[in-house]
Amino acid sequence: MILIHPPVAKPCEPPAGLAGLSGALKQNNVKHEVLDANLETLLYVMDRSQSQTFIPPDKWTARALRNISKNHASMKDWRIYHSIDRYKRAVIDLNHAVEMSVDNGFTLSLADLHHHELSPLRSNDLIMAAEHPLQNPFYPYFRERLLELVQKRGSTVVGFSLNFLSQALCTFAMAGLLRKEFPHLTIILGGGLVTSWMRNLNWKNPFSGLVDHLVAGPGENQLLSILGINNVQEENFTPDYSSLPLNDYLSPGFILPYSASSGCYWNKCSFCPERAEDNPYIPLPVEKVANELNALIAKTSPVMVHLLDNSVNEKLLKRLAGNPLNVPWYGFARISELLMDIDFCMALRKSGCVMLKLGLESGDQRVLDQMQKGINIETASLALKTLRRAGIAAYVYLLFGTPAETLREARKTLEFVIDHKDEISFLNLAVFNMPVCGPEAGKFETGSFYEGDLSLYTDFSHPNGWDRKNVRRFLDNEFKRNKAVSEILKNDPPIFTSNHAPFFAVNHRS
């Protein structure tokens, strides 16, 4: 069979989902190919852009096209991660070159693909993409590559791992081509986005005839079962990265992505899709995680370990603090009293932890309580100070426009950031979206979807008029203009954001 990571997603680390599936197949002796079509597409686009003969419309475009190879190489070189300004220039220019390479209604970046009419939130549009693959900007690449793979290897099953909206149009274009060329091929669709679709209570499969199997949740055992391999004793398989081009990603070395759990152990935040989708929390035993991580590190020599958990649980944090990985690592953690303990944070730093991603969401206690975040704002303050003392960078996530927030509370969040400007290394600002199946949707929704039948969010009417327009105005005119905030925002790596931020954190603190 063939496992495919479709374009477009950030090309900085290998797809963990495919590595997990590949591990499960290998351990059951199933012959398969793993195709990172996302990375190959980017290389194809860069190659095509360099050989283009069109006259660049301006000096910036001319420079961006001329420097594609140089900027591509610099993204893989540690030296550029010592200067955020040089890094930004290289990424923005490379992105611009990629952007200029497609038209036909598509807008491409290093991390995203849009169409001015077709929306990944509408099943009819995805079916349209499947029926007209020729209109996809990467058609020449994937036609040749997929046909060759299926024909030469005699593959009878193809699985797509669809995790992001930015991958949906290409996934369906590729699936449509395969369905047309090989009517008897078994096509499977799984991944995070498919899981979100299928967890919606109103879900009805609009893709029958095109896709043979849609898989929700962790896919390893379901895939084996589709392949006729039942009675598998193992529930968790060690990921296998050996079939992926580990040296080709846009990072200064191999990033090892690893999931120690699926779902979330807290699972209470009112705005959270994990909770809305009712995804169960399934952690791997801590001993198994430690052994697997050490074995994978020995085998693949990563420069960074990326823990993918929605929130690394305290048991694992303690295990890591006591047993260093000897490789820098980062991931999401919940703000708790554990992070107020300087000895613990120092041990965590010694274990390799260079950055923690922290979902603070708001600087106002009442808002935090209303969204059932389970965070005490004083604990958050002390945790940030302790992490800073220990030399661990904090990538803080804020959420504006929740039902409990008004301008007053948003300003308290601003005050919190100003008061902690030296402790917050990076900031992510998001505007609240109401999950369509979330607990609050029934209270505030207006009944209309944002855009289509596959939308994961519903429109809602804010109880105090603190709607998206007002929130955006506040963010643009007040929040981001504050000197303390803008200084922090300047640190953020464009396009790659938290995926590359730990490299800057390593450089700052070592």
Q: For residue 36, which of 11, 12, 5 has the smallest C-alpha distance?
A: 5
Cα dihedral 94, 98, 99, 100, rounded to 10, equals 110
Stretch in the footprint of ligand SF4 (CB under 6 A) among 38-46, 157-165, 262-270, 415-423: 262-270
Start-to-end CA distance of the chain, whole Å, equals: 44
Q: How far apart are CA 292 and CA 506, in angstroms?
A: 24
Please, which residue, 182 or 281, has the CB nearer to ligand SF4? 281
Q: How many residues are recorded in the chain?
A: 510
Cα torsion 481, 485, 491, 497: sign: negative
Q: Is 275 in the site for ligand SF4 (CB under 6 A)?
A: yes
The footprint of ligand SF4 on this chain (CB under 6 A) covers a number of residues equal to 12
Q: Is 357 in the site for ligand SF4 (CB under 6 A)?
A: no
Work out whether strand 434-435 and strand 426-431 pair parallel, antiparallel, or are unpaired.
Answer: unpaired
Q: How far apart are CA 296 and CA 294, in angstroms?
A: 6
Q: How far is the CB of 314 from ligand SF4 (least distance, A)?
A: 13
Q: Is 264 in the site for ligand SF4 (CB under 6 A)?
A: yes
Q: Yes or no: say if 191 and 161 are a contact pair by the CB < 8 Å rule.
A: yes
Please, which residue, 122 or 334, has the CB nearer to ligand SF4? 334
CA–centroid distance for 206 within its chain: 25
Angle subtended at Cα 58 by Cα 52 and Cα 64, rounded to the nearest 5 degrees:
55
- Binds ligand SF4 by CB under 6 A, chosen from 274, 277, 409, 459: 274
Please, which residue, 268 or 299, has the CB nearer to ligand SF4? 268
Restricted to residues 458-497, the positions that interact with ligand SF4 (CB under 6 A) are none
- Binds ligand SF4 by CB under 6 A, chosen from 160, 258, 266, 466: 266
Residues ≥6 apart with Cβ < 8 Å to 43:
248
Determine the number of helices (DSSP H) and then strands (DSSP E) in the chain.
Answer: 21, 18
Please, which residue, 160 or 400, has the CB nearer to ligand SF4? 400
- Binds ligand SF4 by CB under 6 A, chosen from 1, 269, 276, 434: 269
Angle between helices 139-153 and 165-181 (to 10 degrees): 50
Q: For residue 252, which of 109, 428, 39, 72 has the smallest C-alpha distance?
A: 72
Please, which residue, 146 or 269, has the CB nearer to ligand SF4? 269
DSSP calls for 388-451: HHHT-EEEEEEEE--TT--HHHHHHHHHHHHHTTTT--EEEEEE--EETTSTTHHHHEEEEESS
- Binds ligand SF4 by CB under 6 A, chosen from 267, 379, 381, 406: 267
Q: How far apart are CA 166 and CA 170, in angstroms?
A: 8
Helix (H, G, I), strand (E, B) or coil at 283: strand
Restricted to residues 281-310, the positions that interact with ligand SF4 (CB under 6 A) are 310
Q: How far apart are CA 296 and CA 22, in angstroms?
A: 14
300 phi, psi to nearest 5 deg: -110, -10
Q: How far is the CB of 412 from ligand SF4 (least distance, A)?
A: 20
Please, which residue, 310 or 455, has the CB nearer to ligand SF4? 310
- Binds ligand SF4 by CB under 6 A, chosen from 14, 239, 359, 435: 359
Q: Yes or no: say if 182 and 174 are a contact pair by the CB < 8 Å rule.
A: no
Stretch in the footprint of ligand SF4 (CB under 6 A) among 94-102, 172-180, 261-269, 377-385: 261-269
Please, which residue, 81 or 271, has the CB nearer to ligand SF4? 271
Stretch in the footprint of ligand SF4 (CB under 6 A) among 58-66, 127-135, 268-276, 458-466: 268-276
Q: How far apart are CA 75 and CA 81, in angstroms?
A: 8
Q: Is 317 in the site for ligand SF4 (CB under 6 A)?
A: no
Stretch in the footprint of ligand SF4 (CB under 6 A) among 28-36, 212-220, 266-274, 461-469: 266-274
Restricted to residues 382-421, the positions that interact with ligand SF4 (CB under 6 A) are none
Work out whether strand 445-449 and strand 457-460 pair parallel, antiparallel, or are unpaired.
Answer: antiparallel
Q: How far is the CB of 261 from ligand SF4 (least distance, A)?
A: 11
- Binds ligand SF4 by CB under 6 A, chosen from 32, 334, 412, 420: 334
Stretch in the footprint of ligand SF4 (CB under 6 A) among 21-29, 144-152, 271-279, 293-301: 271-279
Longest Cα separation, the chain:
63
Q: Yes or no: say if 56 and 62 are a contact pair by the CB < 8 Å rule.
A: yes
408 phi, psi to nearest 5 deg: -60, -50
Please, which residue, 268 or 490, has the CB nearer to ligand SF4? 268
Please, which residue, 359 or 363, has the CB nearer to ligand SF4? 359
Q: Is 456 in the site for ligand SF4 (CB under 6 A)?
A: no
Please, which residue, 12 or 269, has the CB nearer to ligand SF4? 269
- Binds ligand SF4 by CB under 6 A, chosen from 262, 311, 433, 458: 311
* Chain residues that interact with ligand SF4, rule: CB under 6 A: 264, 266-269, 272, 274-275, 310-311, 334, 359
